[in-house]
């Protein structure tokens, strides 16, 4: 089924469409959320919050504003970051600022059932630190190009081309076709 | 700017990341609508990012969806399928079944043992009943015999009491003075009942012979030998007598009897008293 049609049905509260979209993106959202909160139970909790929020705010999505995936990952990142700012989370968790998504991939012996897990692990091993930083900030943390530019102390143009090159490496590794 | 230059600029990667401004997003969207090659590039970038981010998911996340649906009140029958147990639950039905089988088997074995014990008991009881039955038969025979004996005794008593029957005592003679016998003569029935209890047991090869006598002239008539003397319990012998006897005598004779009485071996002798 066409993504546009699925999204349209989802926006008119079609449960089947909702489930189909969930199955398409849930692992990705779970990965992003887990990378931020670093706790299975909290990640599960945030996952529920994200998809409940998506259902309720489905009408706010518009293709003009971006990809549906982008809309969803934005909700996930924001919900996870909100969680890390909550009092209870701060009391129980150490400072996570220095951690990156690659830690999870490197430390995970069993990358669940993802068929591309091995490829991604290889990719991460070969990945230059500059790639890790930029991917972490742009995709996992949801930084804007300006925020990334400021954090990494490099011009927006450099961020763009560096990110482009890093994602190309990833695509070559995964042999991605849509 | 050509499409290729546009793609190479890296703007599409930022578009997928959501790192562009609202205005930039809408501009890219307009490009996508008109340029399939740019849209194709976006889809490829998106697919790669989805795979990368999914790789950091600690677990398969499908199991979370039922909770989402429940929270939203979307519990359709389909979602029930999703909520089916992720961990295999203990199959209590099977365990219960096995437990019941074991109990049943145990029960059957117990019943078999009980049955065997009961059958043994029945056999014992049957054997006892048989023994009892045999005992009863013996008892019946004894009763029967006793009755018969009683009947016989009564008959003898009747004979002795009968006025019509003539009692003839036969006292012992010289050869054996202690001997004693008595004849009860039923003339109507032509029968004598000889009570020979007072006679000693005859020596081996000898028998007592009973004689009917007429006195004038003295002539003996044999009434037969008491062959079975030793085995007869009451020593009462029923003998047919059609003679007009005037006396009765008993002699000891060689086995088989004699033609005439051996007077030297006359044990008892008694005359019939003429009725007044």
Q: Which of B161, B189, B223 is the last residue of a domain?
A: B161
Q: Which of B43, B66, B82 is the last residue of a domain?
A: B82
- Distances in Å between the Cα of B147 and the Cα atoms of B2, B134, B142, B157, B202 are 144, 19, 8, 15, 30
**Least CB-CB distance to A47: which of B50, B61, B74?**
B61
Calculate how close chain B gets to A54, using CA atoms only, in Å.
Answer: 11
- DSSP-based three-state secondary structure for A116: coil
pLDDT for the residue numbered B145: 81
- What is the secondary structure of B101-124 as a DSSP string? HHHHHHHHHHHHHHHHHHHHHHHH
Cross-strand bridge partners of residue B270: B248
End-to-end CA distance of chain B: 184
pLDDT for the residue numbered B127: 85
Asked if B265 and B193 sit in the same domain, the reply is yes
Asked if B68 and B94 sit in the same domain, the reply is no
Look at residue B276 and tell me if it is in a domain: no
Q: What integer best gives the mean pLDDT of chain B?
A: 86
Q: Does B40 touch chain A (CB under 8 A)?
A: yes
| Average pLDDT value for residue range B237-243 | 90
Show the domains of chain A with their CATH numbers.
Answer: 3-92 (1.10.1740.10), 101-174 (1.10.10.10)
Asked if B18 and B78 sit in the same domain, the reply is yes
pLDDT for the residue numbered B79: 43
Calculate how close chain B gets to A157, using CA atoms only, in Å.
Answer: 8
Q: Which of B82, B101, B129 is the last residue of a domain?
A: B82
For residues B207-217, one letter each, b for 16 or more C-beta atoms within 10 angstroms of the residue's C-beta and e for the rest, the string is: bbbbbbbeeee
Calculate how close chain A gets to B49, using CA atoms only, in Å.
Answer: 8
Q: Between chains, do B13 and A160 touch, taking CB under 8 Å as contact?
A: yes
Asked if B171 and B122 sit in the same domain, the reply is no
How many structural domains comprise chain B? Answer: 3
Look at residue B153 and tell me if it is in a domain: yes
Interface predicted TM-score (ipTM) of this complex, two decimals: 0.89
| Average pLDDT value for residue range B244-269 | 91
CA distance linking residue A168 with residue B251, whole number of Å: 156
**Does B82 have pLDDT greater than 60?**
no
**Least CB-CB distance to A23: which of B13, B42, B62?**
B62
Strand order in the sheet with B166-171: B166-171, B180-186, B191-198, B236-240
Q: What integer best gives the mean pLDDT of chain A?
A: 84
Per CB-CB distance under 8 Å, the chain A contacts of B62 are 23, 26
Asked if B66 and B107 sit in the same domain, the reply is no
Instruction: Give yes or no for a cis peptide into B217 (omega within 30° of 0).
Output: yes
A111-165 tens-digit pLDDT: 454 555 666 776 677 777 778 889 999 999 999 999 999 999 999 999 999 999 9
Q: Answer with the residue of higher pLDDT: B183 or B155.
A: B183
High-pLDDT (> 90) share of chain B, %: 41
- DSSP-based three-state secondary structure for A46: helix
| Average pLDDT value for residue range B241-260 | 91
Q: What domain range includes position B144?
A: 90-161
**Does A32 have pLDDT greater than 90?**
yes
Look at residue B137 and tell me if it is in a domain: yes
Look at residue B157 and tell me if it is in a domain: yes
CA distance linking residue B20 with residue B157, whole number of Å: 149
Look at residue B97 and tell me if it is in a domain: yes
High-pLDDT (> 70) share of chain B, %: 93
Q: Between chains, do B58 and A32 touch, taking CB under 8 Å as contact?
A: no
Phi, psi of B240 (to 5 degrees): -80, 135
Asked if B52 and B107 sit in the same domain, the reply is no
Asked if B173 and B260 sit in the same domain, the reply is yes
Q: Does B18 touch chain A (CB under 8 A)?
A: yes
């Amino acid at each position: 089924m066409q993504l546009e049609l699925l999204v349209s049905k989802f926006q008119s509260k079609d449960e089947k469409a909702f489930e189909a979209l969930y199955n398409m993106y849930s692992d990705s959202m779970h990965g992003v959320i887990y990378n931020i909160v670093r706790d299975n139970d909290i990640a599960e909790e945030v996952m529920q919050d994200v998809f409940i929020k998506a259902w309720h705010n489905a009408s706010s999505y518009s293709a003009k504003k971006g990809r549906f995936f982008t809309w969803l990952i934005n909700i996930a990142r924001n919900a996870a970051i909100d969680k890390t700012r909550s009092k209870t989370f701060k009391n129980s968790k150490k400072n996570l600022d220095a951690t990156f998504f690659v830690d999870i991939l490197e430390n995970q012996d069993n990358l669940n059932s993802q068929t591309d897990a091995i490829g991604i692990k290889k990719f991460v091993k070969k990945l230059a630190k500059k790639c890790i930083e930029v991917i972490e900030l742009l995709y996992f943390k949801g930084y804007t190009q300006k925020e990334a530019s400021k954090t990494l102390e490099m011009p927006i143009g450099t961020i763009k081309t560096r990110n482009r090159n890093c994602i190309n490496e990833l695509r070559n590794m995964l042999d991605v076709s849509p | 700017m050509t499409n290729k230059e546009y793609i190479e600029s890296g703007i599409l990667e930022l578009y997928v990341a959501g790192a562009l401004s609202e205005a930039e997003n809408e501009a890219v969207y307009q490009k996508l609508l008109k340029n399939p090659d740019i849209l194709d590039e976006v889809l490829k970038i998106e697919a790669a990012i989805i795979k990368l981010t999914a790789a950091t998911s600690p677990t398969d996340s499908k199991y979370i969806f039922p909770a989402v649906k429940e929270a939203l009140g979307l519990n359709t029958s389909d979602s029930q399928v999703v909520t089916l147990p992720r961990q295999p639950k203990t199959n209590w039905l099977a365990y219960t079944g096995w437990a019941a089988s074991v109990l049943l088997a145990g029960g059957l074995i117990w019943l078999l043992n009980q049955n065997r014990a009961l059958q043994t008991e029945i056999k014992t009881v049957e054997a006892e009943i048989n023994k009892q039955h045999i005992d009863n038969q013996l008892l019946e025979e004894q009763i029967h015999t006793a009755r018969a004996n009683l009947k016989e005794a009564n008959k003898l008593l009747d004979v002795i009491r009968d006025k019509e029957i003539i009692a003839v005592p036969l006292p012992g003679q010289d050869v054996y003075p202690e001997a004693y016998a008595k004849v009860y003569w039923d003339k109507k029935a032509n029968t004598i009942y000889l009570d020979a209890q007072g006679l000693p047991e005859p020596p081996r090869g000898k028998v007592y012979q009973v004689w009917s006598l007429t006195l004038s002239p003295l002539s003996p008539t044999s009434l037969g030998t008491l062959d079975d003397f030793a085995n007869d319990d009451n020593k009462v012998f029923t003998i047919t007598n059609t003679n007009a006897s005037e006396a009765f005598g008993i002699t000891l004779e060689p086995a088989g009897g004699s033609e005439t009485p051996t007077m030297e071996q006359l044990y008892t002798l008694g005359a019939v008293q003429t009725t007044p």
